[in-house]
Amino acid sequence: MQRINYPQPKEWDEILKRPTQTVSDIEAIVYSIFKEVEADGDTVIKKYTTQFDKVTLDSLVVSESEIEQASNSVSDALKQAINLAKSNIEKFHAAQKTSKVAVETLPGVECWQEKRPIQKVGLYIPGGTAPLFSTILMLAIPAKLAGCKEIVLCSPPDKNGEINSAILYAAQICGVTQIFKVGGIQAIAGMTFGTESIPKVYKIFGPGNQYVTVAKQLATKYNVAIDMPAGPSELLVAADDTANPAFVASDLLSQAEHGVDSQVILVSTSEKLIEAIGTEIENQIQQLPRKDIARKSIGNSRLILVKDDKEAMALINEYGPEHFIVCVENENFYLENIQNAGSVFIGNYTPESAGDYASGTNHTLPTNGYAKQYSGVNLDSFMKSMTFQKISEKGIKGIGTAIELMAEAEGLQAHKNAVTLRLKSLK
């Protein structure tokens, strides 16, 4: 990891740059595949599945027998772990439910807000070397709690035309209604336009590589919403001499192993701690099966020494990390002043992995600095707020003249007339 001592604020933009790649070439590829899927549906999806996933499929649909077989092949120990995580995630997201908000703004003018589920949602779950079945828990559970009627899942098949058994098991117990063997750009396009097999959805959720990320962004041009803009996974740790160097190093490596374009950052006021963590990273990385990926990610990463907590906090808010771990003596200062972070992990015994899997919070979070304006996925991500109003005769008399004056001032005579006719009828 690159070490940087006491950087000046004017240097922060440069040292905090994410290792994101240009998308200009990718956009052309994504747009081309989108147009093909829009025109020819399943035929094109199967063609690209053969090209990218190296398997030819007769059907894109995962059958009930495949789901049952997969469920039987998952070990009891893993099932228990998944069900524990499911229980915690359900508890935390169920607690986010809110009741109707109602107010009478004037006598006879009743206004209220109610929430309704998004009827059709699509979940994208990556496969490959890290089949993220945990993401199904994070997405399908709040979708089910919200009341979404159709929960569609797409995940790329392996070379045998199968989807990871843990993915299918998690989908089954979390209420996913349809599962399809399709990944990459073609999966996002399928859920955007709908095909002979795949339903068109109203909102798409889930992580993916740079091609999937750009595909989701393109989907928004076709009246499909997405959870948030996304980029490579990232973690920032604020630590001082009260932190355990081995714990911090393990947290940094837990995110570094996600992908070669992931980024991890340590911000500390302690030179001694930075040196200890650097040593721990070198020792621990040797033991990782994904050490080659982690090493490349570490090359994008930083060990930053700052003069005090105030400067550390300013730098952290400027970065806006997806995951933020706080292991410092002056804990309250950081918790009170953090403004930009997707999810916060506090103390030596709160690893980021807890949020990734089983504590109950959601791990689908804003990356690439979007924590400055976006929230992570939550129950409301699967719902819409609708407003209602009911005005009585007394109510229209109370606000009618104000509406008339405002409409006339804006030059909208028909708006004024809609009120004037009603007021005249009450004289």
Give catalytic residues, as residue numbers.
322-323
363 is in an annotated binding site: no
* Other Cβ atoms closer than 10 A to 29: 13
Alpha-carbon distance of 406 to 402, in angstroms, equals 6
Reference 298, options 246, 336, 257; nearest CA is: 257
CB-based contacts of 405, cutoff 8 Å, min separation 6? none
* φ, ψ of residue 346 in degrees (nearest 5): -120, 125
Residue 330 annotated as lining a ligand binding site: no
Residue 160 in marked binding region: no
Q: Is 209 annotated as a binding residue?
A: yes
323 annotated as belonging to a binding site for a ligand: yes
CA-to-CA separations, 409 to 89, 413, 418, in angstroms, rounded: 52, 9, 15
Query: Is 336 known as a binding-site position?
Result: no
- Other beta carbons within 10 Å of 134: 19
Q: Annotated binding residue at 356? A: yes
Is 210 annotated for ligand binding?
Answer: no
**Annotated binding residue 93:** no
Q: Where is the binding site for Zn(2+), in residues?
A: 255, 258, 356, 415
Q: Where is the binding site for NAD(+), in residues?
A: 124, 186, 209
Q: Where is the binding site, in residues?
A: 124, 186, 209, 233, 255, 258, 323, 356, 410, 415
Q: Where is the binding site for substrate, in residues?
A: 233, 255, 258, 323, 356, 410, 415
